[in-house]
Amino acid sequence: MSAVRVRFAPSPTGPLHIGGLRTALFNYLFAKKNNGTFVLRIEETDQNRYVEGAEDYIKEALDWLGLTPDEGPDQGGDYGPYRQSERKGQYAKYAHELVEKGHAYYAFDTSEELFKMRTDQEALGHHSAKYDHRTRSLMRNSLTLSPEESKTLIDKNENVIIRLKMPIDEVVTFTDLVRENVSFNTDELDDKVILKNDGMPTYHLANIVDDHLMEITHVIRGEEWLSSTAHHVLMYRFLGWEAPKYTHLPLILKPSGKGKLSKRDGAKFGFPVFPLEWQQEEETYAGFREHGYNPNALLNFLVLLGWNPGNDEEVMTVERMIEMFSLKKIVKSGAKFDIDKAKWFNQTYIHKQSVEELIPIAKQVLAENNITVDDAFLAEYVTLMQDRITLYPDFYAEGKYLFNAPTDYDQKQVKKRYTSELDPHFDAIKSIISDGNDATVLTDKVKTYLNDNELKMGVYLPLLRIMMCGSLTGPDLFEIIALLGVEESNQRMDTALAAFKSLG
Ligand code: GLU
């Protein structure tokens, strides 16, 4: 068996959607699992849809996730170039070969003629009419015109394209590793354009020519390409080439499970559907990276969108994914996009990260909020907060009271618990804090004081927390006091007590 070669073949028409990213991941895992080669090929033959910056975006996203191609525009390789625009000279000859073999033909129709054909057909009750075995005889092409007429038009090179000639009433069957046998009747298929007037191939021709020349063994791509596969399989047959093995990945569905997840859904539901932030015209689309996701957590979330390891393992390193990966375990039904699951993975990964890894991340988040702190403080801060973080920006959101004393206090809780009779005991607690701020010692001393004086923990400790943080949330109270230091903690107690009096 020949060595496994797979490719990720995005078109740089915009940011890489989460579905494209999953395609890249599955190709990567399959290549690694089989000691094969993971190729990145940029499919930009359609210059009208080309978007500046999209290729760099794709590469940056793959790089962020560690899905490094073995061959590609930047890596090079024996099958290059890896950008279709740099290979454009090689496609036309295959279109001509198909014409010579009688499997393709020249068509000369103008857009007005195409429009007329569709409206005429509609008037006859044939809705969404296509250029196909039924209509091609009504059109101006090398099948209907004389060879001389055709030659004149070809030489003039106006509106000349090459279309694939679909056989009549033939069943094309191919094996999809997920769906087993997939069949299409050629009568349902249109005569796809394979070469455009400018001599450039369409996606269909360029894709199969490159897969063949790059010796791709397995095509793993999104379900939306399933209906094109019949055309592709036929082209392989017509050219006398062996087709690769196909696997079509299930759709990624909206959180409701109804319909395909779209780029608009991200903005609608307030979650990212792109790996990195992307700006186009007036719009900014959010990215998982900027939302504060760990790239490995995102990979872990993605791998389970349409693939099932066959046991209940959920949290997996990339090495483990490679070990477990098999195309047979890809599911047919659409995979629901559940952002809470993505957050859960992220939280789980952050819990597992080392404090050293998290320090620079927390530092950056804090810097973005104009907070600069030294590394010794950060190390303690990160240790204290690590378990409370779901997304990296929580390094600020969850602990901001540590950097700025609260100005608002949870009024309901204060009213429920505070009276000025408590003041002398808070004075005593203040002096305990002034004696030293080791968290364990403090916990012990304050609790002993409260017990010895028969005072209620459930009254004093929540109030003390509100003095420090403004509300009842946060990590261990005495750890917070230790981190704030004696001076700041006492200052917060004074300010809070003054405010409590006016609330009470
Ligand atoms: N260029 C196509 C895309 O943008 C590739 C589809 C395929 O993998 O064949 O998705």
Per-residue pLDDT of the chain (504 residues; tens, 9 = 90+): 569 999 999 999 989 999 999 999 999 999 999 999 999 999 998 888 888 899 999 999 999 999 999 999 999 999 999 999 999 999 999 999 999 999 999 999 999 999 999 999 999 998 889 999 999 999 999 999 999 999 999 999 888 999 999 999 999 999 999 988 999 999 999 999 999 998 999 999 999 999 999 999 999 999 999 989 999 999 999 999 999 999 999 999 999 889 999 888 888 888 999 999 998 888 888 899 999 999 999 999 999 999 999 898 999 999 999 999 999 999 999 999 999 999 999 999 999 999 999 999 999 999 999 999 988 899 999 999 999 999 999 999 999 999 999 999 999 999 999 999 999 999 999 999 998 778 999 999 999 999 999 999 999 999 999 999 999 989 999 999 999 999 999 999 999 999 999 875
Can you tell me the distance from the alpha carbon of 205 to that of 196, in angstroms, rounded to the nearest whole number? Answer: 11
Using DSSP's 3-state secondary structure scheme, residue 141 falls into strand
Q: Return the ligand 1 atom nearest residue 220 CA.
A: 8
Using DSSP's 3-state secondary structure scheme, residue 281 falls into coil
The answer to whether 389 and 398 are in contact (CB under 8 A) is yes
Please report, to the nearest 10 degrees, the dihedral formed by the alpha carbons of residues 75, 81, 83, 84 taken in order.
Answer: -160
Query: What's the whole-model pTM score?
Result: 0.92
Main-chain dihedrals φ then ψ at residue 440, nearest 5 degrees: -65, -45
Check if 150 has its Cβ closer than 6 Å to any atom of ligand 1. no
CA of 293 to the centre of ligand 1 (A): 27
Check if 218 has its Cβ closer than 6 Å to any atom of ligand 1. no
Check if 9 has its Cβ closer than 6 Å to any atom of ligand 1. yes
Alpha-carbon distance values, 33 to 112, 136, 145, 283, 478 (Å): 52, 46, 53, 39, 49
Taking the chain, what is the end-to-end CA distance rounded to the nearest angstrom? 81
CA of 397 to the centre of ligand 1 (A): 40
The answer to whether 209 and 21 are in contact (CB under 8 A) is no
Question: CB neighbours of 2 closer than 8 A, spacing ≥ 6?
Answer: 215, 217
Nearest CA owner, ligand 1 atom 2: 10
Residue 51 amino acid letter: V
DSSP H helices, 133-252, are 147-156, 203-213, 226-239
CA of 142 to the centre of ligand 1 (A): 30
Check if 437 has its Cβ closer than 6 Å to any atom of ligand 1. no
Q: How many residues does this entry show for the chain?
A: 504
Check if 225 has its Cβ closer than 6 Å to any atom of ligand 1. yes
Pocket test for ligand 1, best of 225, 232, 247, 251 (most atoms within 8 A of CB): 225
Nearest CA owner, ligand 1 atom 3: 10
**Among this protein's residues, is 32 annotated catalytic?**
no
Residue 30 amino acid letter: F
The answer to whether 419 and 504 are in contact (CB under 8 A) is yes
Angle CA 128–257–11, to nearest 5 = 60
Choose the catalytic residue: 88, 245, 260, 263. 263
Q: List the one residue out of 233, 245, 138 whose CA is nearest residue 184.
A: 233
Check if 27 has its Cβ closer than 6 Å to any atom of ligand 1. no
Can you tell me the distance from the alpha carbon of 279 to that of 94, in angstroms, rounded to the nearest whole number? Answer: 38
Using DSSP's 3-state secondary structure scheme, residue 430 falls into helix
Can you tell me the distance from the alpha carbon of 288 to that of 274, in angstroms, rounded to the nearest whole number? Answer: 6
Return the H-helix or E-strand segment holding 6: strand 5-8
Check if 23 has its Cβ closer than 6 Å to any atom of ligand 1. no
Pocket test for ligand 1, best of 18, 207, 209, 248 (most atoms within 8 A of CB): 207
